[in-house]
Amino acid sequence: MGQATVNLTPPNVPAEKVSGPWGEAWRAFRKNKTAMLGLFIIVFFVLVALLAPVIAPYGYKEQELVNRLKPPSAAHWFGTDDLGRDMFTRILYGARISLWVGFFSVIGSIIIGTLLGVLAGFYGRWIDMLVSRCFDILLAFPSILLAIAVVAILGPSLRNALLAIAIVNIPTYGRLVRAKVLSLKSEEYITAARAIGMKNSRILFTHILPNSLTPIIVQGTLGIATAIIEAAALGFLGLGAQPPDPEWGKMLSDSRQFIQKAPWTVIFPGLSIMLTVLGFNLMGDGLRDVLDPRMKN
């Protein structure tokens, strides 16, 4: 019977290039225009952040007190702030801070959240009870309030703001992973893996974790946007970055008294926050379309 099937395949047709599920996803992602726009925005800001010292015409701490609150000009593209610092330079360096906080807080919450979620989902019983109730408690607080509380305990600084944001977002990832693991556990290939004599820990790492990656990636991308906003909010409240760090939220709050006299001191940081967040949101939505099988046609 195998013979009959062999003849059905013309021998000289080149076999379709084998691409894994990830290659497939990338192909679909490339076709999604808004998602690609998001990716370009992100790449743009990443480049800006990396190259800040090269591009920036001034130092971000450099003050020219004679040139305070000057409107945009050839010398100062985005104008200057109340201490005569170049806004353009500070926006460039600000990209570093925002992206850094965004990435690392999300990575932190993903690592801890995934660990707890897998424990709860895979081993169940009392571990699940314990972990899930902890998540519920964390989720009962409004996130920004909880972050403020954490920073208040640890002391205001950029690093502590990052920690606070990471802690606050752990339950989001934890619940996501737990739900995914629970549904994966009843998949037949997990039983099949058991039936060939695979250990629990091995099943966890080769079957369950890789298969629960997609929702984490989607949520993580969207989560970076949220984390950037939260960092800006903490900065605005004076609980995040401390002067003279050019954090965008902090820049907003420092300049808000000059909003009528020198609107550029508020507009540019605000615009930067908006653009980066937009970029991550667009890309996150695109990833969801591509990676979430329920949305696939």
Minimal CA–CA distance to 238: which of 133, 148, 165?
Answer: 148
261 touches other proteins by CB under 8 A: no
Question: In the complex, what is the shortest distance from the CB of residue 174 to other proteins, in angstroms, rounded to a whole number?
Answer: 22
In degrees and rounded to multiples of 5, residue 170 shows phi and psi of: -55, -50
Q: Applying CB under 8 A, which of residues 34, 73, 183, 191 lies at the interface with other proteins?
A: 191
27 touches other proteins by CB under 8 A: no
- Angstrom distance (rounded) from CA 248 to CA 66: 23
Please report the DSSP string for 208-260 in residue order: IHHHTHHHHHHHHHHHHHHHHHHHHHHHHTTSSS-TTS--HHHHHHHHGGGTT
74 touches other proteins by CB under 8 A: no
Question: In the complex, what is the shortest distance from the CB of residue 156 to other proteins, in angstroms, rounded to a whole number?
Answer: 43
Question: In the complex, what is the shortest distance from the CB of residue 197 to other proteins, in angstroms, rounded to a whole number?
Answer: 4
2 or 155: CB nearest other proteins: 2
* Residue carrying structure tokens 């591009």: 55
Span 206-235, contacts to other proteins by CB under 8 A:
206-207, 210-211
Q: How far is CA 3 from CA 8, 9, 12, 170, in A?
A: 9, 11, 17, 55
Neighbours of 206 (CB within 10 A): 12
Which residues pair with residue 80 across a beta bridge?
Answer: 86
Instruction: Please identify, among the stretches 193-201, 215-223, 225-233, 252-260, the one whose residues bind other proteins according to the rule CB under 8 A.
Output: 193-201
How many Å separate Cα 294 from the centre of its chain?
23
Q: Applying CB under 8 A, which of residues 188, 201, 294, 296 lies at the interface with other proteins?
A: 188
205 touches other proteins by CB under 8 A: no
40 or 189: CB nearest other proteins: 189
Question: In the complex, what is the shortest distance from the CB of residue 124 to other proteins, in angstroms, rounded to a whole number?
Answer: 9
- Please compute, for residue 119, the number of CA atoms within 13 A of its CA located in the half-sphere on the CB side: 14
If binding means CB under 8 A, how many residues of this protein chain bind other proteins?
Answer: 27
Minimal CA–CA distance to 276: which of 103, 61, 126, 87?
Answer: 103
183 touches other proteins by CB under 8 A: no
Q: Applying CB under 8 A, which of residues 6, 54, 140, 295 lies at the interface with other proteins?
A: 6
9 touches other proteins by CB under 8 A: yes
Residue 284 zone, left/alpha/beta (φ > 0; ψ -120 to 50; rest): alpha
Instruction: Please identify, among the stretches 13-21, 128-136, 215-223, 272-280, the one whose residues bind other proteins according to the rule CB under 8 A.
Output: 13-21
User: How buried is residue 237: exposed, middle or buried, by Cβ count under 10 Å (0-12/13-18/19+)?
Assistant: middle
User: How buried is residue 67: exposed, middle or buried, by Cβ count under 10 Å (0-12/13-18/19+)?
Assistant: middle
15 touches other proteins by CB under 8 A: yes
Tokens of 168: 């606050």
56 or 193: CB nearest other proteins: 193
14 or 155: CB nearest other proteins: 14
Q: Applying CB under 8 A, which of residues 74, 155, 197, 295 lies at the interface with other proteins?
A: 197
91 touches other proteins by CB under 8 A: no
Which stretches of the chain bind other proteins, using CB under 8 A?
1-2, 5-6, 8-9, 15-16, 18, 20-21, 187-189, 191-199, 206-207, 210-211
